[in-house]
Amino acid sequence: MGLKVKMYKHTLKFKFEAGTSRGVYTEKDTYFLKIFDSENPKIFGLGEAAPLHGLSIDDFPNYQDILQGACDTFNGLDLEVFEWNINIILSQLIDDRLPSIKFGFETALIDYMNGGKRIIFDNDFVKGEKAININGLVWMGSKAFMMEQVEEKILAGFDTIKMKIGAINFDEELSILSSIRNRFSNEKITLRVDANGAFSPEEAQKKLLQLFDYQIHSIEQPIRQTQTDAMMGLCENSPIPIALDEELIGITDYVQKMQLLKKIKPKYIILKPTLLGGLQHCREWIEIASRLHVGWWLTSALESNIGLNAIAQFSAEYKNTLPQGLGTGALYHNNIESPLVVKEGKLHYNLQKNWDLAIFE
């Protein structure tokens, strides 16, 4: 009697070289957590622990050993889980310095409690009645490759395109934005850019002024995190709304979250549960942002469809009309087959498609 957890390592293979200012991804290790009652193992919840190399604060060389240690501790506790004690268990079992592991356990436990049906939140999205508006993501690469992606996103029906910038020549990146704006007004196509901290504080203001010519909706993390005073100055003077992303990583104390947003005063924040410590921490960020009139949206962090499913269902719990960053399900050759489908720039939960969970049997 009692809940048990089993870990499964899975290496996701990208369909192309996915470039960011921190490097290029061709594959990514992820870890699935299967939680079940030892007396009834056919009913199980699934979660995903998937740190991002070079970005997650729990991207340790011995990550798998740390995760296995958390699993061993869990298996020795003979736990019974209820809705009211999930956060208590998580806070005592998993350190806040292990955000991806906390997210994996949290979503696996919720899934198990809801009957092991991959239903994290029983809302209109998972019932197939509501789709989630998402942005189409253009990865870094050669100008030709980036233009090819832009064309694909427009043909696929996206009306919000997010382009990663900061890796190739900045003038070439501007020319891509210019080509989009020459064809589509900002009423037709919303443009977001994500610098992933690629600009120096000294050059950032000039580059923001250049980007302003292309009616940019927002720019994510123009300079690297922890340069709080410089970021505050940019948010105050930027002609383009700034969204904090990496800036939020590692901040788990409620008061510190409030202090950060009060000081920097961004227009938006980007919430990635894998990097921030799970859904409960995202709830806190959302609550604080709402108090301070800061906009927000959720973004997946290269999880498989297991993690993406949980984030999408969480997103659907809120009446947020901004496009979410949840279009990463088609990145991999060997993703977990699921009911998640992107169509006409929206993420749908197709009840006619089934989960392929053969690797967990």
47 contacts 103 by C-beta, under 8 angstroms: yes
Measured from the Cβ of residue 7, the count of other Cβ atoms closer than 10 Å reads 16
CA angle 233, 204, 228 (to 5 degrees): 40
**Which residue is catalytic, options 28, 34, 102, 272?**
272
**Which residue is catalytic, options 102, 162, 164, 207?**
164
In angstroms, the first-to-last Cα distance of the chain is 20
Q: How many helices (H) and strands (E) does the chain have?
A: 11, 13
Measured from the Cβ of residue 187, the count of other Cβ atoms closer than 10 Å reads 8
320 contacts 348 by C-beta, under 8 angstroms: no
Give the separation between CA 265 and CA 231, rounded to whole angstroms. 9
CA angle 258, 264, 267 (to 5 degrees): 95
The closest alpha carbon to 176, from 223, 127, 142, 134, belongs to 142
Please indicate whether residue 164 is annotated as part of the active site: yes
Q: What positions carry a catalytic annotation?
A: 164, 272
